[in-house]
Each structure stands twice: as C-alpha cells, then as structure tokens.
Amino acid sequence: MSRLDWNSHPSRTLQGSVRVPGDKSVSHRALMFSALADGRSHIRGFLEGEDTRATAAVLQKLGVHFETPADGERVVHGVGLHGLRGTAEALDCGNAGTGMRLLSGLLAGQVFDSTLIGDASLSKRPMRRVTEPLALMGARIDTQDGLPPLHVRGGQALHGIKYTLPVASAQVKSALLLAGLYAEGETEVIEPHPTRDYTERMLAAFGWPIAFEPGRARLSGRHTLRATDVDVPADFSSAAFFLVAGSIVPGSELRLPAVGLNPRRTGLLQALRLMGADIRIENERESGGEPVGDLIVRYAPLHGIELPEALVPDMIDEFPALFVAAAVAQGRTVVRGAAELRVKESDRIATMAAGLRAIGAAIEETPDGAIIDGGALAGGDVDSHGDHRIAMSFAVAGLVSQGSIRINDCDNVATSFPGFLELANGCGFELSRAA
C-alpha cells in the first residue's frame, strides 16, 4: 500500500464554520459502557475513526451487537456487566492506546482469557503503568517486557485498592475504575494532578454510584449499568488545530460549533489566551454530562510565554499544535513538565523539534519539554513518524510558511480525524496529497 504524504501551502485567510468530528475519548467510553449496560443505548456524534472502530470491533468479537443507522451513530445492545463472551481470537486495538489500556481494565474482571494486540506503533507503547496497578487488584496480565501484546488471564478475584498514580493519566485511572466495577470492595484512584474525568461523568450518567472530584475518584463494585443515550461532543483535540490556525493566519475567523469543553481537556484554550489569542465561547450548555460550547477564533498576534505547568495535564494531546503556535509567536515559549509527550504515538518532543528545525524554526529540546523562539518558517520536508497529531500540526504550520511543507507519513490521521483534508480545505487550507 502506498504511503500517504501531504503538501501544505501558504494560505491567505481562513473563514467559515468547521464541525470537527466527535470526541475520541468519549466515543471509546460510550461504546464500552453501553456494551456493559443492561438495555439498548443510542450513541450520536460517534467518531468514525479507525481507533474507535477498532474498539467497536473488539467488543463485537466479545459478543456485543451494534447497529449503525447512519454515520456517526451506533445503537448498542448491552449484554450487562457479566455478559461478554470470550474468544480465542486476538483482539486488535489497531493504533488505539486508549482502547487497549481501558480494555485491559475491563477484561481483567472477566472469567475468560483475552489477548490484546495493536499495530506497530501501539506495540511500542508502555503498558506497565496500567498492568502493575491492575496486578495490585489481583489481575494477571502478561506483557512482552512491558509492551503489547497483553495476555489478560480470566477468572481472577479482583479486590478494590486505594492507589495514587505516580504520573497523572486519565487512561490509567479509567482502567482501574473499569476493573473496579468487577472488584470486591472499594477502588479509589488519586492523581498528582487532575486529569480529564470522562469516565467518572459517564459512569454516573449510566447509573453507577461514583464519587469524584478533581484529582480523585472512588467507587465500589458489584452494581449495574443502565442503558443511556449519549450525545458525543465535538473533539477539543481536533478543534485545536483550527484554533491555532485561526489564531496565526492574518484575517481569519472560524466558528467551531458544539465543542466539548471539559475543564480537564481545555488547557490549550487557556495557553493560547495567555499568548494573546482571540477566542471566545458562545452558547455554553451541557450535553450527556459534558459541558459544550461554540468556539469563535479570530486572528491575533501571539507572543511567547512560560507555560504554567498546571496546564500540562489538561492539554497533553494538544502540544504539537501549541509548538506550531509558539514557533510563529513573537518571543520565547518555554514548556516544562511534559515528559509524558515522549511516550505518545511518537516521541512528540523529539518529532516536533526535528520537524520544526527542518522548516527553519528555532527550538531546543529539554528532557520534559522545549524552548521555542518564535520567528518565520521557511518550509521544507518533515516526517510525522506516523503520528496523526504531528501530521495535522505541520499542516497548520504550512499555512504561514514562506514555502510549502511536505508532510510525510500521514496515513494515521484517519485514527482520530477522518476527513481532515476535506474539512480543512473547506475553510481555506491549501492542503493536497503529495505525488
């Protein structure tokens, strides 16, 4: 299969309304909780991405029936907490780290054995941060020296624990809470910094008794989930590329409707405002337990900042886009406390630094972040290393470069943002498939 590469060319201005796809994190969780609920749940706004479809395919192999009345919709016929059926087939999570980590907690409480596998990129991502605390609950999960595949042993008697995460991670927290559904006693997870609370909000919406506040969640096992309809908000991480693009391309104004505004997710919004961005929120409301609103971004000259470390956990997926904003802002931007970026789909600090240097930016890597001196971008060739967020960030950089940027290895953009090229070009991007 031929590799997908892009060319991103300078743009004059960006205008229009851009409805980005549904939130990936909410879509994963909606599938899992609907599958484990008693009754029929209807999910609207579902992200039709490769990652979320992989999670749906895993649940189908485990005996869950789905209907697809239209794109972006799933009707899930829940099997109840103990209704999943084992399979001898490997369960392929594709590129979905969220899917694999959450499923490891869900499967730890089943009576059957399971094997979770992933693609080449996912197979290099660390899993001990999940498997070790799950083992404290009584789970048995074998790995390849801490890496996938994960062999989850069924029939284990799980018990609740009180666990303080060494590194803040919504995925690890969620895996422990999912295992806690099947555990005897109480499971409590404490975080060094609050992370996104999608799992907690959705468990409550599905009727599971849970107590949570920023940085702490607690539940007991042996209850039931009730079928619930879920409206998935537009994905803030997908909106991030348009927030940066609208901020840096002179004369631009973009409206992004119905974006999820979970406070544990919107650190980039605060960071861009600190840099001088003109972003306002209209029509704030709540949908399916999640705050949403329409974002309007207008061009504004940006300046460098020392990013407050308190914002880092709330924008961990948005750093590639922030690095682009910093590279064209006036002055210096300093990022610290973001070592987690080195174990994402790629080492995002190293990959962004190499790509930005290749197009003329001044950036210095540090172990847990970067120092970026803003200026003009010259254009050139960059390699995304198969990382969807890196590819889309350099598509944004091409809008304000002096020459075009060729972005290599963009196939994985479909994991989180199907239709990105068409949607971006519809509001003024100059993005094309490279020959």
| pLDDT for residue 414 | 81
- For residue 304, which of 283, 331, 279, 271 has the smallest C-alpha distance? 331
Residue count of the chain, please give it.
435
Q: Is 164 exposed, middle or buried (0-12, 13-18, 19+ CB in 10 A)?
A: exposed
**Does any domain span residue 209?**
yes
Which residues of the chain have a pLDDT value below 50? 1
Whether residue 41 is found in the same domain as residue 18:
no
Q: Is 94 left (phi over 0), alpha (psi -120 to 50) or beta?
A: left
| pLDDT for residue 435 | 78
**Does any domain span residue 226?**
no
Residue span of the structural domain in which 143 resides: 24-217
Q: Token pair for residue 168?
A: 């803040």
Whether residue 38 is found in the same domain as residue 142:
yes
| pLDDT for residue 77 | 98
Whether residue 246 is found in the same domain as residue 204:
no
**Does any domain span residue 315?**
yes
- Among residues 163, 192, 217, the one where a domain terminates is 217
- Among residues 189, 217, 245, the one where a domain terminates is 217
Domain count within the chain: 2
Whether residue 296 is found in the same domain as residue 173:
no
Three-state SS annotation for the chain: CCCCCEEEECCCCCEEECCCCECHHHHHHHHHHHHHCEEEEEEECCCCCHHHHHHHHHHHHCCCEEECCCCCEEEEEEECCCCCCCCCCCEECCCCHHHHHHHHHHHHCCCCCEEEECCCCHHHCCCHHHHHHHHHCCCEEEEECCEEEEEEECCCCCECCEEECCCCCHHHHHHHHHHHCCCECEEEEECCCCCCCHHHHHHHHCCCCEEEECCEEEEECCCCCECCCEECCECHHHHHHHHHHHHHCCCCEEEEEEEECCCCCCHHHHHHHHCCCEEEEEEEEEECCEEEEEEEEECCCCECCECCHHHHHHHHHHHHHHHHHHHHCECEEEECCCHHHHHCCCCHHHHHHHHHHHCCCEEEEECCEEEEECCCCCCEEEECCCCHHHHHHHHHHHHHCCCCEEEECCHHHHHCCCCHHHHHHHCCCEEEECC
Whether residue 199 is found in the same domain as residue 51:
yes
**Does any domain span residue 222?**
no
**Does any domain span residue 176?**
yes
| pLDDT for residue 193 | 84
Q: Token pair for residue 409?
A: 């290895």
CATH code assigned at 147: 3.65.10.10
Whether residue 171 is found in the same domain as residue 37:
yes
**Does any domain span residue 1?**
no
Q: Is 13 exposed, middle or buried (0-12, 13-18, 19+ CB in 10 A)?
A: middle
Q: In whole angstroms, what is the distance from residue 376 CA to residue 401 CA?
A: 7
Q: In whole angstroms, what is the distance from residue 340 CA to residue 312 CA?
A: 10
Q: In whole angstroms, what is the distance from residue 432 CA to residue 422 CA?
A: 9
**Does any domain span residue 180?**
yes
Whether residue 350 is found in the same domain as residue 389:
yes
Taking a C-beta distance cutoff of 8 angstroms, is the pair 252, 246 a contact? yes
Taking a C-beta distance cutoff of 8 angstroms, is the pair 175, 136 a contact? no
- Among residues 186, 217, 248, the one where a domain terminates is 217
Whether residue 275 is found in the same domain as residue 332:
yes
Confirm whether 294 is a catalytic residue: no
Whether residue 43 is found in the same domain as residue 189:
yes
Whether residue 145 is found in the same domain as residue 281:
no
Whether residue 16 is found in the same domain as residue 37:
no
The sign of the torsion formed by the CA atoms of 408, 344, 195, 418 equals positive
**Does any domain span residue 224?**
no
- pTM of the predicted model as reported, rounded to 2 decimal places: 0.84
| pLDDT for residue 1 | 46
Whether residue 61 is found in the same domain as residue 131:
yes
| pLDDT for residue 416 | 75
Residue tagged active-site, from 317, 383, 387, 409: 317
